[in-house]
Structure 1
Amino acid sequence: MSTLKIWDLHLKYDGPVTQEFMDGNTSLAKSIAEEEGVIWKIWTHKEGTPHFGSTYLFKNKEYLMKYREMHIKRLNKIGITEITDHIFDVLEDLSKINNAPLG
């Protein structure tokens, strides 16, 4: 079994999606790129709704859990409290057949 972990995160952001919001997310994306244990992150948004999400690939569960705790606190600090998340094991052998970017 792989040590790689997927973290699937969904949240509701009721604020306006302004240029300031996007600039803040650009800064956040750059800081996430430097986080230990994060291999990649995909950002998602359901157009026309307040629903945003992310899917991350982590090197292992320890890195994921450390980051998860910090990130949920950060989201709560800016007023985001409606959060749903799931942690998954990566089935590497099958994923490689389908060209998954496993790092």
Structure 2
Amino acid sequence: MKLLQVDFEYQGAMGVEMSNSLVGLAESINQEEGLIWKIWTESELNKLGGGIYLFEDESSAKSYLEMHAARLKGMGVPKVRGIIFDINLPLTEVNGGPVFIKES
């Protein structure tokens, strides 16, 4: 599993207004290859939008990041920061992190 963290400057609607206007996008993200879940992030104070994603593997995370960065640039977002992380599963389990180990 890989965790993808994305953030970018965002001047648009946040909170309930963002939730109402981006339901279709949220639903489409569920169809992305290898996606397990996404947590949407926003900071009105810092004018940032983004998300935390859990993917099955690195290639899925990289493919999504490339596509998402292009989509955001098409929406007028000039710079997208995306970082792919490994997950320390034993420590994450100690803290109740929402990840799981797939049994083979």
Q: Tell me whether 1:51 sits opposite 2:35 in the alignment.
A: no
- Structure 2 counterpart of 1:81, from 78, 81, 88: 78
**Aligned equivalent of 1:38:** 35
Higher relative contact order (CA 8 A, sep 6+): 1
* Contact 2:65/2:82, CA 8 A, preserved across alignment: no
Instruction: Write the distance in 2 (CA, Å) between the matches of 1:85 and 1:34.
Output: 20
Instruction: Write the distance in 1 (CA, Å) between the matches of 2:20 and 2:73.
Output: 19
What are the Cα deviations for residues 26-53 of structure 1, in whole angstroms up to 9, with x where unaligned? 1111011121211111111113342112
What are the Cα deviations for residues 44-64 of structure 1, in whole angstroms up to 9, with x where unaligned? 111334211211111010111
Instruction: Write the distance in 1 (CA, Å) between the matches of 2:20 and 2:72.
Output: 16
**Aligned equivalent of 2:94:** 97
CA root-mean-square deviation? 1.7
**Aligned equivalent of 1:17:** 13
Number of residues of Structure 1 aligned to a counterpart in Structure 2: 98
Instruction: Write the distance in 2 (CA, Å) between the matches of 1:89 and 1:37.
Output: 15
Instruction: Write the distance in 2 (CA, Å) between the matches of 1:80 and 1:22.
Output: 19
- Specify whether residues 13 and 47 from structure 1 end up closer, same or farther in structure 2 by C-alpha distance, changes over 3 A only: closer
**Aligned equivalent of 2:69:** 72
Instruction: Write the distance in 1 (CA, Å) between the matches of 2:27 and 2:33.
Output: 13
Instruction: Report % sequence identity.
Output: 34
Please give the secondary structure, in 2, of the residue aligned with 1:99.
Answer: coil
Instruction: Write the distance in 2 (CA, Å) between the matches of 1:47 and 1:13.
Output: 9
Unmatched 5+ stretches in structure 1: none
**Aligned equivalent of 1:62:** 59
